[in-house]
């Protein structure tokens, strides 16, 4: 059972700007502290047998230089790995290439912080939808990880899809989208522009499935 408000409030979200080899980029960062140890969280995030329990089935070689593919989603190349603290990889989807970096760090009382950067050079899709387009997806991923760590059980894909279209799922996405709107404004985007693209993002996520 998802406590929507509690989960949304447990996540820190921010945007930043940086210059990379590909040009001026924007980094979306999500962070949450989980009630588990560093080694267990690292295993949950890197073990191909555990990743599908809270995210998506993954294939390929999860090693430096290896290529991975998330079922129905992004793939890429693992560029760096420092167990059990961090890894970095390309995130390739729909012909676009961006970059992810995961960092894990110990917190008080045996807990562990999960922090993920997703860096991309803004394009037409970004200009239309803003950070919520990837941010809502990462929020749902963090929620899935929280549920898995709390129960140890694997997610039911059909139940997860049904939840997304439920009142509770729509509320989750609405609150996530609003948080990313606020991060967009805090990063210097004109509020009217940020609102227009946040509204477009939410409409895309909550549109009824095509019959």
3-state secondary structure of 126: helix
Strand order in the sheet with 67-70: 12-20, 23-34, 112-120, 96-106, 86-93, 75-82, 67-70, 58-60
Q: By the 8 A CB rule, do 113 and 126 touch?
A: no
pTM over 0.75: yes
Residue 135: per-residue pLDDT: 97
According to DSSP, residue 187 is labeled T
Measure the CA–CA gap between 38 and 30, rounded to whole angstroms.
17
Buried-exposed string 39-71: b where 16+ CB fall within 10 A, e elsewhere = eebbbbbbeeebbbbbbbebeeebeeeebbebe
Query: Which residue intervals of 58-131 are DSSP H helices?
Result: 124-129
Residue 179 has what pLDDT? 98
> Dihedrals φ, ψ of 185, to 5°?
-65, -45
Q: What is residue 1's predicted lDDT score, i.e. its pLDDT? A: 60
Residues 6+ apart with CB under 8 A from 118: 27, 28, 29, 91, 98, 99, 100, 134, 138
pLDDT at residue 32, as a whole number = 98
pLDDT < 50 positions in the chain: none
CB-based contact 168:54 (threshold 8 Å)? no
């Amino acid at each position: 059972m998802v406590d929507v408000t509690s989960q949304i409030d447990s996540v820190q979200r921010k945007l930043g700007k940086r210059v990379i080899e590909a040009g001026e980029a924007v980094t979306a960062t999500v962070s949450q502290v989980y009630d588990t140890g560093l080694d267990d969280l690292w295993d949950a995030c890197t073990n191909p047998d555990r990743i599908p329990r809270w995210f998506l089935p993954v294939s390929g070689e999860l090693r430096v230089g290896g290529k991975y593919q998330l079922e129905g989603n992004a793939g890429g190349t693992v560029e760096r790995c420092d167990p059990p603290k961090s890894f970095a990889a390309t995130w390739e989807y729909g012909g676009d290439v961006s970059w992810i970096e995961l960092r894990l760090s110990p917190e008080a009382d045996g807990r562990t912080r999960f922090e993920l950067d997703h860096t991309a050079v803004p394009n037409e899709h970004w200009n239309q939808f803003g950070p919520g387009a990837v941010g809502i997806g990462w929020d749902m991923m963090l929620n899935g990880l929280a549920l898995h760590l709390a129960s140890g059980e694997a997610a039911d894909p059909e139940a997860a899809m049904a939840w997304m279209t439920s009142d509770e799922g729509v509320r989750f996405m609405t609150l996530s989208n609003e948080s990313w709107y606020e991060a967009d404004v805090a990063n210097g985007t004109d509020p009217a522009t940020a609102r227009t693209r946040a509204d477009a993002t939410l409409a895309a996520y909550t549109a009824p499935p095509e019959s």
